[in-house]
Amino acid sequence: MADDPDGGMLSWDESVFRNEHVFEIDYVPETFKHRESQTESLTYALRPAVRGSRPLNVMVRGPPGTGKTTSIQKLFDEVGAQTSEIRTIRVNCQVNATRYSVFSRLFEGTFDYEPPSSGISFKKLFGQIAEKLVEEDRVLVVALDDVNYLFYENEASDTLYSLLRAHEEHPGAKIGVIVVSSDPTLNVIDELDSRVQSVFRPEDVYFPVYDEPEIVDILDERVRRGFHDDVIARDTLEYVAELTADSGDLRVGIDLLRRAGLNAEMRASRTVERQDVEEAYEKSKYINLSRSLSGLADTERTLLEVIAHKDGDQAGDVYETFHEQTDLGYTRYSEIVNKLDQLGLIDAEYTEVDGRGRSRSLSLSYEKDAVLDRLE
């Protein structure tokens, strides 16, 4: 492609991006704005660990895309840079949704290699972790990120019980727990077993949705670090912030900037225009859907596909088709329905059915094509 004489067109080897990584979801910004009070609360809870004591447990709540994971990751990075006496491990419970898989990640974080894939019991796995902590006289701080997934699989109480009672079976083991929930409908404490409630008295740290001025401020920081100068005009950035505020999820805006930048490059343009943003939004607005789908097992994806084709049908009718495809029983089917409902992927509402009493009707929470396209 030839260069534009007026300088408005990109050459084939140019980019609007100064650093495209700035617009990736896992990027941890150097400056983290509008979460000062939450960061202070987390720091306060971990302060005893610096003195060699067990830290306070913390419950972090807030909708998706409100800075929970970034706050914890930045705090863990700072702790790691200041002392080797505290081991911090963040576990993604969307990926590790059982007690055993959580402790496998803790084993890996403790020993720097994965545990054997078979032949080791949970008790032995846990014992080796605790013994290592006692031997090195280290404090372990565990962040169970997206802990709501442990609740969806009925694994939360057993997991927390093992962590919170570790010092009873292994004297000298000092473990603090940060649970992070992105499900606003989940009351973490109420859903735990009484045996866990009796020992889990966490500090509560809430992350509200960012307001539009805060979103503009945060996205402007990303723009300055991620794009070359003058790539995106202020009014275009404010339009991105408006769409982001409507979604309630900062990650939509970050993804939107990246896709809009790629759209501008496709046009060989040196600037991101409103049309680039509008086209990008058709994909960016489904970032939560894509994230939720990525953590589903094959049978869960199968059921969602069945519901997409039988949108609004009664649960019993949906089960017949699901059973034909998977051979799973109704109990497991009902568990998967509940999980998809809790994830916000479907709506499972009870309705009166003539001659059949109350039954749940199952319908998608997203557009059918959007779901099916992302299940492929």
Rounded CA gap, 86 and 81, in Å? 10
Is 339 marked within a binding site? no
Is 90 marked within a binding site? no
For residue 15, the one-letter residue type is S
Give the SS3 label for residue 177.
Answer: strand
Task: Please name the helix (run of DSSP H) or strand (run of DSSP E) that holds residue 294, with its range, or none.
Answer: helix 287-294
Is 67 marked within a binding site? yes
Cβ proximity of 14 and 269 under 8 Å: no
Is 69 marked within a binding site? yes
Is 70 marked within a binding site? yes
Q: What are phi and psi of 361, to 5 degrees?
A: -100, 135
User: 162: closest CA among 78, 64, 94, 91?
Assistant: 91
- And the tokens for 176? 């603090």
- Strand 346-353 and strand 357-364: pairing? antiparallel
Q: Answer positive or negative: Cα dihedral of 3, 9, 11, 14.
A: positive
Is 7 marked within a binding site? no
Task: Please name the helix (run of DSSP H) or strand (run of DSSP E) that holds residue 60, with its range, or none.
Answer: strand 58-61
Other C-beta atoms closer than 10 Å to the C-beta of 289 total 19
Rounded CA gap, 172 and 135, in Å? 9
Q: Which residues are annotated as a binding site for ATP?
A: 66-70, 210, 222
* Residues placed in the known binding site: 66-70, 210, 222
